[in-house]
């Protein structure tokens, strides 16, 4: 289990242990979508470059939310999606982390606050790069990337 402060100074607890994350129900998702050894990012019109993700709608599972959010924000369909972790921000936010393969693009983005998407070589660090959203400039991204590499998922 990893504990640290996010970009805004809020406490974050991150785990890749299924015994821990299977006990909590997430209301948000974060997706690491890979395509030909690159990561698929969205361009949020206010926050900058970020990974697909968002809220789990009422009656929706977190995996369904991960698939839907990625499709809405990028127009791409996912395959081989797998929950690999979970993190909490403060006492209120619980996010499931997914890794997936990008299957194909079906349409352009349908979200109003998304200004496109990018396929990038996997950035090693984002903490000091202002092009990336503050939501990616904490330890969740590098710790998840290290976990993915350690387990042959990236």
Read off the pTM: 0.91
Give the pLDDT of residue 110: 53
Complete DSSP assignment for 51-79 = -SEEEPPTT--HHHHHHHHHHHHHSEEEE
56 pLDDT above the threshold of 90: yes
Instruction: Judge whether 14 and 1 are in contact, CB under 8 Å.
Output: yes
Give the pLDDT of residue 34: 95
Full set of structural domains in the chain with CATH = 2-148 (3.90.79.10)
Give the pLDDT of residue 125: 76
- Taking alpha carbons only, the member of 80, 88, 104 closest to residue 153 is 80
Name the more confident of 80 and 22. 80
pLDDT, tens digit (0-9, with 9 covering 90-100), for 8-23: 899 999 999 999 887 7
């Amino acid at each position: 289990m990893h504990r640290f402060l996010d970009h805004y100074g809020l406490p974050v607890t991150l785990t890749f242990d299924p015994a821990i994350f299977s006990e909590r129900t997430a209301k948000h998702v974060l997706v690491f979508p890979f395509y030909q050894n690159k990561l698929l990012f969205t361009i949020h019109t206010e926050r900058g470059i970020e990974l697909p993700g968002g809220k789990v709608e009422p009656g929706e599972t977190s995996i369904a939310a991960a698939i839907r959010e990625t499709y809405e924000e990028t127009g791409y369909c996912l395959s081989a999606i797998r929950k690999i972790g979970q993190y909490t921000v403060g006492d209120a936010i619980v996010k499931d982390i997914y890794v997936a393969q990008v299957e194909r693009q079906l349409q352009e983005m349908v979200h109003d606050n998304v200004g496109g998407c990018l396929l990038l070589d996997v950035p090693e660090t984002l903490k000091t790069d202002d092009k990336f959203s503050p939501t990616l400039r904490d330890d969740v991204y590098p710790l998840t990337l290290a976990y993915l590499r350690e387990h042959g998922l990236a």
